[in-house]
């Protein structure tokens, strides 16, 4: 009998930041009705948004940025990179600023950089890193979380865990999407229990207030 094969994908495809960057949504529990809500990102307004289609709860969280005046001084020819704290200045493409080395006034571009506190795609305690809301597709195996960001991620996990033969992409040295899957989920001796959890999550409906008491399997 032919073994069930699975060919893995490249990179960090199912990290929180990667999913949001692709324009996909992350499923979470609505903080108001406990139904299924979704986190997405508004590129135009630089906001993260959580929306519930059941109770119409909506909340926005702006992305956090720092702004820098960066360039080479026209007088002493030394490089400088100065953080800008003036809210009026950060809206401009360029700004006039004194060189920190020789005090010469220079006109240099304003650069926007995402703050470090937003440079995260780590799911901790089954909660998203932006709003700290509990993931909708979440259960536990012996006290350890088993989760998926959305149904696409959930289907990937089901395919990976159920496969008897897992293959890496044929070329390249990049890490695969399965690299971030915890060892206890990959472990062959836990396969059947993990599959039951994932299948249970797969059949979870998006009805209002479903599983509001969070009745987990916890094998």
Q: What is the C-alpha separation between 182 and 185, in angstroms, rounded?
A: 6
Residue 211: the pLDDT is 44
Residue 219: the pLDDT is 55
Residue 172: the pLDDT is 63
- Does 193 share its domain with 132? yes
- Does 132 share its domain with 183? yes
What's the whole-model pTM score? 0.72
Q: What is the C-alpha separation between 184 and 187, in angstroms, rounded?
A: 5
- The answer to whether the CB of 75 falls within 8 A of the CB of 83 is no
Residue 20: which H helix or E strand, with range?
helix 16-21
- Does 197 share its domain with 132? yes
Is residue 37 assigned to a domain? no
Residue 213: the pLDDT is 43
- Does 106 share its domain with 140? no
Question: Of 60, 11, 10, which is closest to residue 39 (Cα–Cα)?
Answer: 60
Edge-to-edge strand ranges of the sheet holding 58-62: 26-29, 36-42, 47-52, 58-62
Residue 87: the pLDDT is 78
Residue 47: the pLDDT is 83
Range of the domain at 187: 5-23+121-202
The count of domains in the chain is: 2
Which of 82, 114, 146 is where one domain is finished? 114
Residue 29: the pLDDT is 97
Residue 91: the pLDDT is 80
Is residue 42 assigned to a domain? no
- Does 180 share its domain with 74? no
Is residue 131 assigned to a domain? yes
Those residues of the chain that have pLDDT short of 50 are: 1, 118, 209-214
Q: What is the CA radius of gyration of the chain?
A: 23
- Does 198 share its domain with 130? yes
Query: Quick one: tokens of 42?
Result: 């508004």
């Amino acid at each position: 009998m032919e073994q069930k094969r699975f060919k893995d994908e490249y990179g960090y495809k199912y990290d929180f930041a990667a999913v949001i960057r692709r324009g996909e949504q992350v499923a979470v529990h609505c903080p108001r009705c406990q139904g299924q809500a979704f986190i997405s990102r508004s590129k135009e307004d630089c906001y993260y948004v959580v929306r519930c289609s059941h109770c119409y709860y909506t909340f926005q969280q702006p992305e956090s940025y720092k702004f820098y005046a960066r360039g080479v001084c026209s007088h002493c020819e030394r490089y400088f990179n100065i953080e800008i704290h003036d809210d009026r200045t950060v809206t401009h493409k360029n700004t006039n600023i004194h060189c920190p080395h020789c005090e010469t006034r220079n006109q240099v571009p304003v650069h926007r950089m995402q703050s470090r506190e937003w440079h995260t795609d780590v799911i901790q305690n089954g909660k998203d890193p932006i709003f700290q809301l509990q993931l909708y597709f979440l259960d536990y195996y012996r006290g350890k979380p088993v989760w998926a960001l959305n149904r696409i991620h959930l289907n990937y996990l089901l395919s990976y865990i159920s496969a008897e033969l897992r293959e890496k992409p044929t070329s390249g040295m990049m890490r695969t999407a399965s690299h971030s899957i915890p060892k206890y989920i990959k472990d062959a001796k836990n396969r059947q229990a993990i599959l039951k959890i994932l299948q249970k999550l797969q059949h979870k409906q998006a009805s209002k207030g479903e599983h509001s008491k969070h009745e987990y399997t916890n094998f």
